[in-house]
């Protein structure tokens, strides 16, 4: 109410009040920008510390984790294992591989690829029916996807493709591709 009286008596008083409000808001913005800049610097500092201190340790742990997985895989062909024990071992290895998938950036991709290839070889050897079912399901999903994309009229040699996928032989896949 007192500012209204001032405005009536002095029209410049309103402009002064507006300028001071604007100045106060501008100062708040500047303070917030300084605070945000300091926060960004802290985040950058923390990230740099992570990269220099923690990440090398995590990479070392991932290497050890790969050693553990490879060691567990070495037990798969043991003739002393029962089917149930082998299944439990596969489940344990799958759990470790799930952990790897969550942090792939920490692992050596070549080593993980080799581990997966070895594991796949043993899965094919000891559980061929399950692998064939997985390939059949994947192939059916691929056909469904191709139909949805409008490429369903392609003449795919299903049995040949499934066999190539089952054996994992990329040279046969290239030969099959040339035939198409």
Model confidence at 29, pLDDT cuts 50, 70, 90, reads very high
What is the per-residue pLDDT across 94-135, written as a single tens digit (0 to 9) for each? 999 999 998 988 999 999 999 999 998 998 888 877 766 776
Tell whether pTM > 0.75.
Answer: no
Among 142, 160, 159, residue whose Cα is nearest residue 151: 142
How far is 23 from 26, CA to CA, in rounded Å?
A: 5
What is the per-residue pLDDT across 127-163, written as a single tens digit (0 to 9) for each? 877 766 776 777 777 667 766 766 555 565 666 666 6
**Long-range pairs, 97-104, Cβ under 8 A, ≥24:** 97/69, 99/65, 100/62, 100/65, 100/66, 100/69, 103/58, 103/62
pLDDT at 129: 77
Name the more confident of 16 and 61: 61
What distances in angstroms separate CA 102 from CA 3, 56, 68, 180, one per listed residue?
63, 17, 17, 37
């Amino acid at each position: 109410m007192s500012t209204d009286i001032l405005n009536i008596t002095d029209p410049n008083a309103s402009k002064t009040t507006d300028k001071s409000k604007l100045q106060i808001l501008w100062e708040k913005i500047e303070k917030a920008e300084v605070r945000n800049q300091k926060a960004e610097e802290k985040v950058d500092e923390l990230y740099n510390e992570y990269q220099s201190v923690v990440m090398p340790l995590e990479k070392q742990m991932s290497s050890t984790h790969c050693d553990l997985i490879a060691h567990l895989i070495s037990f798969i062909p043991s003739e002393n294992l029962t089917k149930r024990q082998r299944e439990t071992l596969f489940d344990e290895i799958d759990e470790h591989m799930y952990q790897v998938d969550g942090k792939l950036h920490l692992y050596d991709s070549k080593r993980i690829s080799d581990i997966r290839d070895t594991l796949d070889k043993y899965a094919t050897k000891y559980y061929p029916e399950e692998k064939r079912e997985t390939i059949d399901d994947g192939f059916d999903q691929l056909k469904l996807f191709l139909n949805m994309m409008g490429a369903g009229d392609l003449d795919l040699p299903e049995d040949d493709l499934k066999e190539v996928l089952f054996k994992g032989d990329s040279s046969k896949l290239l030969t099959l591709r040339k035939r198409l």
